[in-house]
Amino acid sequence: MTVAVDEGALLAELAPLLETEACQLGLRNLSSDPFFVAFFLASVSQGEGLGAAAVGMIGQDELAARIRNLDVQEREEREHEERTIDAARSLFPEWFDDAGYRYPEALQGKAYYVEVLERNRERLKEGGRYSRLNLYLTTTFAYEIMVLLLYRAVADAVRSSPLPPEVRERVACMIDAILEEEQGHVGIVRQHQALLETPREGLSDEALGLLDTLAKMSADDYRQPAELAVRHVVSMMECYADAERYRERIQSTPGARS
């Protein structure tokens, strides 16, 4: 089945989800407090690291080799992981020690990634369309859609925050630069069609099986996880709305090094 997903239209459709009062307040609180900016960047770094590792999730070299720019995406996600944590550490050294970020167990990147991944896995299994390749493509797409909306919202909030101008500039410009690369990643959905059109001669039974399962997917298999990913990130941003309580929660996680 041909899948047609208009990324621009989907972004426009999902953007209003971030407009809840609690999410907007959360974004303002996040971007006004160095403690939260450091926490957010460290969480982003964790999520980006998982995004880079996910490239290996396909677990099928013949098809992985036919997905365009997979190596570029992996390298860029790895760079995002490093850039965000390096910026957090150099701008907000008070929240780091020799072992790294002081509240590692509180970081949101991994919990978020796993939640979206597992719910999507379940969904694909229920519909009889599960394969590691399908899971990779749809979860990556969902994650990229979320990233485009969230990073833009945070960069905008940081630009109008009361933080010192040099901090604002550094954080917002870094996010802008990452966003530019993320625009390319969202094109992952076009790889779906390219894979379906790939010549089948010479492919192993395993690869052919993956292509058959790929053919069962529809545009909805991309849209639904994207919506889930955005809804889930909105609920995370809403945590910042009650700033004092959230900060306490972060600082009292097991393994915290105050």
User: Are the C-beta atoms of 76 and 227 separated by less than 8 Å?
Assistant: no
For 5, how many CA atoms within 13 A lie in the half-sphere containing its CB? 29
Binding residue for Fe ion (CB under 5 A) from 36, 47, 171, 182?
182
Residue type, 143: Y
Least separation, in Å, of the C-beta of 44 and Fe ion?
8
Stretch that binds Fe ion, among 71-79, 85-93, 119-127, 167-175 (CB under 5 A): 71-79
Instruction: Give least dist CB 164 to Fe ion, A.
Output: 26
H helices within the chain, ranges in order? 7-14, 21-32, 34-54, 61-64, 70-91, 109-126, 132-159, 165-185, 188-196, 205-215, 220-239, 243-251
Closest CB 138 distance from Fe ion, rounded Å: 14
81 binds Fe ion (CB under 5 A): no
CB distance 198 to 213 below 8 Å: no
Tell me which stretch binds Fe ion (CB under 5 A): 39-47, 61-69, 185-193, 225-233.
185-193
Closer Cβ to Fe ion, 124 or 142, answer by number? 142
Closer CB to Fe ion, residue 33 or residue 77?
77
Q: How far is the CB of 83 from Fe ion (least distance, A)?
A: 9
CB of 214 to Fe ion, least distance (A): 21
| Minimum CB distance to Fe ion, residue 120 (Å) | 16
**Residue (88 or 243) nearer to Fe ion, CB:** 88
Residue 7 binds to Fe ion (criterion: CB under 5 A): no
Q: Which is nearer to Fe ion, 88 or 241 (CB)?
A: 88
Sites for Fe ion among residues 26-55 (CB under 5 A): 48
Nearer to Fe ion, 181 or 242 (CB): 181
Number of Cβ within a 10 Å radius of residue 229: 28
Judge whether 215 and 2 are in contact, CB under 8 Å: no
What does the longest C-alpha to C-alpha distance in the chain come to? 60
Q: Tell me how many degrees the CA angle 187-152-191 measures, rounded to the nearest 5.
A: 5
Would you call 96 exposed, middle or buried from its count of C-beta atoms within 10 A (0-12, 13-18, 19+)? Answer: middle
Which residue in the set 30, 45, 58, 80 belongs to the binding site for Fe ion (CB under 5 A)? 80
- The reply on whether position 77 binds Fe ion by CB under 5 A is yes
- List interacting residues with Fe ion (CB under 5 A): 48, 77, 80, 182, 185
